[in-house]
Structure 1
């Protein structure tokens, strides 16, 4: 497993999404709930173009804050893009996908982290 993420790094990821106008950004703490990852970051882009812009920005910047990207799924369609960063999984979705899959409800036992 990768080195544990610091609160500072998690805040930076939230800020990177906000830089590209990602909406409804939620960070869930899945420690003790999921064996796959420690955190989910869920964000909405208004369109597939915006989802792609957010993901492109993250691909460019995450390495500079010490967060490796292991794989990216969901491109070029960009309705729902999943970025696997080991201890962090980023989900960037269009509004329809976000409403339909409702990951916050699915992971309702997770603590919502505030920054």
Structure 2
């Protein structure tokens, strides 16, 4: 699975659990950490955990290694590292504080409508 297919898988998994304000940033040439960052939030601890769990389960179903998942128990900022794609799932109260979209403002956004329709 290439990085764009992985991005599509992650976006669909997050959308399936009603992730709010779903954003993907193309980090190629900007960060050595990953090719894409996916950023979203949930409105409650349970929703944040449900989004993270769905991303992890979809990765396992497609035989993609989850390199690490951090913050799941606290459900304030869950990071799911899938290698080429890193997923940041925030609680709605914390997303604005960290404001990753602004921090990585030079990264172009990905049109997620294409990913959701494919």
Normalised by the length of structure 1, the TM-score is: 0.90
Structure 1 gaps, min length 5: none
The counterpart of 1:106, out of the listed 94, 103, 106, is 103
1:87-106 aligned at under 5 Å gives the runs 87-106=84-103
Q: Counterpart of 1:28?
A: 25
1:25–1:42 Cα contact (<8 Å) kept: yes
The more displaced of 36-45 and 64-73 is: 64-73
Within 2, Cα distance between the matches of 1:69 and 1:11? 16
1:9–1:65 Cα contact (<8 Å) kept: no
1:51-62 aligned at under 5 Å gives the runs 51-62=48-59
Q: Counterpart of 2:39?
A: 42
Within 2, Cα distance between the matches of 1:9 and 1:59? 12
Give the match's secondary structure for 2:31.
coil
More helix by percentage: 2
Normalised by the length of structure 2, the TM-score is: 0.88
**Aligned residues, how many?**
112
Give the match's secondary structure for 2:102.
helix
Give the match's secondary structure for 2:25.
strand
Within 2, Cα distance between the matches of 1:87 and 1:8? 10
